[in-house]
Amino acid sequence: MSRALLIVDVQNDFTEGGALAVAGGDAVASGVSAFLAEHAGEYAAIIASRDWHDADSDNGGHFAPEPDYVDTWPVHCVADTDGAAYDPLLTTDAVTHHVRKGQGVPAYSMFEGTTEQGDTVGDILAAHGVTDADVVGIATDHCVRASALDAVAHGVHVRVLTGLIAGVGEESSQAALAELAHAGAELVPAGSVAR
């Protein structure tokens, strides 16, 4: 059995003070860092994703001057800006693969992104023989949901570490977690992760 940790979009624009700030985002960043300090050695791959949008386009309609916050959004996570950087509370030393997504197009799942070498998350999981993945990050009801569903679709047993995620809305986050559980993902508190 080989396990991966998927860290979804723990970026400045999604944490407190960012363009699309999610309440509890900084707590997720520091919580994931603390979790990595204890558990990094248990993972064959630690993959972190970032939204990495083009500055000079609406990224396939993803950016809008009057966003609906469902399919269209304010400008956020523009490539090479501070907003696209990892939250400084997230320690990335243990990350083995960095994935960028949404380069000119809408993208929610980290499986839609690639590393600088062009590898997809699916490629990385296959190369490491990953059978199990733990998912953490932001936002529960959008990119965490999409990434975890894609991991399930790749035949991986998924655990969502519920203490290390933060969502945009309470109801939409609960609905996302229910959908994930129905799809076969396991919802577990980070503190109960077995060594």
Active site (catalytic) residues: 9, 101, 143
DSSP type of residue 71? S
Radius of gyration of the chain (CA): 15
CB-CB contact of 77 with 13 (8 Å): yes
Interacting residues of 130 by C-beta distance below 8 A, sequence separation 6+: 2, 3, 4, 44, 45, 124, 156
Query: Where are the strands (E) in the chain, listed by range?
Result: 3-8, 45-51, 97-101, 132-138, 157-166, 186-188
Q: Taking every pair of C-alpha atoms in the chain, what is the biggest distance, in angstroms?
A: 47
CB-CB contact of 45 with 27 (8 Å): no
